[in-house]
Chain A
Amino acid sequence: MTAYLARVRGSAATIAFLLPMLLVFGLFSWWPIVRSVVMSMQQTNLVTPAEFVGPDNFRAVLADPLLSTAVQNTIWFAVLALVIGYPVPLMLAVVMSDVRRARGLYSLLAYLPVVIPPAVAVLLWRFFYDAEETGVFNTILGWFGLGPVPWLEDPSWAMPSLVIEATWAAAGGTVIIYLAALVSVPPELYDAAEVDGAGILRKVWHVTVPHLRGVMLITLILQVIGTAQVFLEPYLFTDGGPDNATLTVLLLVYDYAFANTTGGDYGKATALSLMLAATLALLSVAYFRLTRRWSE
């Protein structure tokens, strides 16, 4: 009986400890998710009573010609981010871990962009990306007889321009993760490799990369999830333009909900959000299944 009471009291304490977190999490994470599932089957303007419309919102989204543009653009952003954005932090981390002096300074410089508020960073870069010959980047290119480049003004240049800024803005965080992981690589492995006559590239390939494999897998999936939800850059730089060249899935969600007050379509917006979430969940599961063997 005493043991039972103690157990009850123990679990009561556990629940009491858990309660604040559960409440905050439930109210600000789970409740909105439940609400958006409900809203995806409603037509509402948030003022008049909502009307139940079943799967109509999902049908309307799937029939929207802009959906395929948005999906293609998002995939294009993800591919570019993978090509430009994925290797950069890894290379930076490897080089920085090799630096003997002033390592702290380099870490600080790499991490600084993460600290700058994203909207401020975008405004700054918009200034850099001025398409005139007098723009910051175009002036620099001009010194080498290159350019001017229509950074954000040309449908084919706009997306790479966004990826370059996004890479600059986010690389610092990933660099720190890699740097922390690199500490776990035993230095004698490098010494042994050096004795065996390995150059820097072979050392990286045969020693560093195998040790970072687990971390690299995680950063890769985080990046894919992150790029699939890219919003800030296309919204603030180009508003999806020129001619929808940077319209991403999340920007389309935003446009459904907010771009036209009089047509604010929260039902379609939540329907597309749910479809995106489901796709990403499936992608994550498939990814972990496929790479489970490799990461073991």
Chain B
Amino acid sequence: MRNHRRRGLTALATIASLATVSVLATACGSDDDKDSESDGKVHITVEGWRPGDEQGTIDAVNKQAAAFMKDNPDIIVEPIEWEWNAETFSTQLAGDQLPTTFRVPFTDTKGLAERQQIADVTDYVNELPYAEDFNPSVLAAAQGTDGKIYGLPTDVYGVGLHYSRALFEKAGLDPDQPPTTWDEVREDAQAIAEKTGQAGYVQMTSNNTGGWMLTTLTYALGGRMESEDGATASIDNDATREGLELLHDMKWDDQSMGKNTNFEWGTINEAFAAGKIGMYMSGSDVYNALVTTNQIDPDDYGLAALPLSDSADAGILGGGSVAAVSAKASPEEQEAAVKWNDFYRERKNYDPDAAVADAKVLAESDQPIGTPTLPIFDQETWQAVEDAKAEYVNVPQDQMTSFTEGVFSQTLIPEPASHTQEVYGILDSIVQKVLTDEGADIDALLADGNEQVQALLG
């Protein structure tokens, strides 16, 4: 009897063990087979919308995907929710959790290419009708140090000064006369803080955005963070010093920067859309996110050209994204991904008909059309595209004229060439120190920062 029971238990335990093993094996098994669907079509997942985006955004992408699949019956496109996040990228790639194609910032493309984390798609890009027509300095952002092409450059922006027309009015300022010098920025910020109790001017400080914006301020005042070849650090320069002193005085003397200082791209947008910020610097295309993610009231929004100093070297920081392809994608998937990026992201910047088709889909889903971007090809092409989709424009472009009229006379300066994100990380600390410690020694901070960046650059 006892033996029987024991044998029964042993059998039970064995079954339980086997069940566990098989469950584990299934859980740990790869899902490689998802790519080799038996329908003979190429399946790709693509970056569709950001977390928190409204339904209209999702609908618009899905419509575009359906249109694309109609033209390309051998490709199945599945748009998914995704947002570029430097912190999770590598592990998503290693764990097969990335979409087949996604956008990465200009600053990260070269490093990702060097580490073979994104695919070389030179051959597929060269097949596109406009391959020869890219603005070379824009295409350079999508090229690795080996000269190969790792994606299509998109969303090219220049940094602008975004301001709240509502707070300007409340403070007795003319919302049609945004500041054109940094002295005026300071005066207006002070007026907003005094009359409305909200922060007059705020700048991003964390997750490398503090460095991004300090670099922007430095460029606007005529300085640089690195030599052009990225070999020498120049953090310790007069323009950065002037910028930090300006921030220090606005924060501590004028008290026009509010009490909260911990902001990054998403949180500063949120606070601005909620009417808590008078002015801040960000990419010229941020209005799209302010609408689709933060539901800003369009009447409250204004965009001005970034004030530049008299220095001949002064300019605005320009950046953008590269629609790249996962290094783990098969050649067929890579080809399909470039086709999709051509259809969804690039052709509309080149071909006026494609721009109109794109605008129609966006208009149906009530998505913003006409947010300022900068040319990916030449200015003539850009203008033709802008003219073609003019009738669909639904963003308040007359509240952005200061930017759109001023930007083409401003020099566009690319981000630091070498170790960009790490340099931004070091600069984050400097900005944070100045904004949280009234007695911060700016000279010492810059000397120390310069040393750290030089150590990085080698």
Contacts and interface: CB of A to CB of B under 8 A. Distances in A.
A23 B19 CA distance: 12
Interface of B: 3, 6-7, 9-10, 13-14, 16-17, 20-21, 24, 28, 86-91, 93-94, 108, 110-112, 114-117, 205-208, 258-262, 327-328, 419, 421-422, 425, 428-429, 432-433, 435-437
Interface string A11-38: 0110011011001100100000000000
Contacts of B3: 6
Nearest to B9: A13
B409 to A, nearest CB: 34
Given A153-B436, A243-B432, A263-B422, A131 B260 contact: yes
A148 B14 CA distance: 64
17 contacts: A12-B10, A13-B6, A16-B14, A16-B17, A24-B24, A47-B93, A47-B116, A150-B436, A153-B259, A238-B262, A241-B206, A242-B435, A243-B429, A243-B437, A261-B87, A262-B86, A263-B111
A9 B432 contact: no
Given A239-B206, A241-B205, A262-B108, 11 more contacts: A23-B17, A27-B24, A45-B117, A150-B259, A153-B260, A241-B428, A241-B432, A242-B261, A258-B86, A258-B88, A261-B112
B339 to A, nearest CB: 24
A244 B108 CA distance: 24
Contacts of B87: 258-259, 261
A260 B422 contact: yes
Contacts of B16: 16, 20
Contacts of B94: 46-47
Given A13-B9, A23-B20, A45-B117, A259 B425 contact: yes
A54 B16 CA distance: 42
A13 B238 CA distance: 77
Contact of B262 (A10, A20, A241): A241
B9 A48 contact: no
B111 A46 contact: no
Nearest to A241: B432
A132 interface: yes
Interface residues of A, number: 39
Nearest to A158: B436
B6 A46 contact: no
Interface string A249-269: 000000000111111100000
B6 A10 contact: yes
B262 A258 contact: no
- What are the 10 A-B residue pairs with the smallest beta carbon separation, nearest first? A262-B111, A46-B94, A16-B13, A131-B259, A20-B20, A242-B436, A243-B433, A258-B87, A19-B17, A242-B432
B120 to A, nearest CB: 14
Nearest to B109: A262
A133 to B, nearest CB: 8
Contacts of B17: 16, 19-20, 23
Contacts of B435: 242
Interface in A120-148: 130-133, 148
Contacts of B429: 241, 243-244
A45 B90 contact: yes
Contacts of A150: 259, 436
Interface string A79-102: 000000000000000000000000
Given A46-B94, A258-B90, A9 B10 contact: yes
Contacts of A264: 90
Given A16-B13, A23-B24, A260 B436 contact: no
